Amino acid sequence: MNKETLTRVAKNAHLAFSEEDVERYCVSLGEMINQLNILDEVPKEEAYVVNPVEIADILRDDVSGIFMDPYELLKGMKTYENYVRGPRLL
């Protein structure tokens, strides 16, 4: 991690670091990044299998249709030209 990147990130995060803190954090973050480089050595495969249990789509297919008569639903409500009116919003 270089000083320029660290100071730019700190500025974006509204953090104020002293020059001493910048030096210390550059070394610490550089070591962390180098430790993560070991992930580059992991063998790559076409497909990764993470979950041993097969995940299948168990949802039903949607079927459109009218299950109740809309006029029967509106019969007991206060409507205006077959629209339900709600309270006025301010």
Q: What is the pLDDT of residues 61-83, one digit of tens each?
A: 888 877 888 888 888 888 888 88
Nearest CA to 6 out of 24, 27, 26 is that of 26
Spell out the domain ranges in the chain.
3-38
**Terminal-residue alpha carbon distance, the chain:** 54
pLDDT digits (tens, 9 = 90+) for 12-69: 999 999 999 999 999 999 999 999 988 888 777 776 667 777 777 778 788 887 788 8
Annotate 44-66 with b (16+ C-beta within 10 A) or e (fewer): eeeeeeeeeeeeeeeeeeeeeee
pTM exceeds 0.85 for this model: no
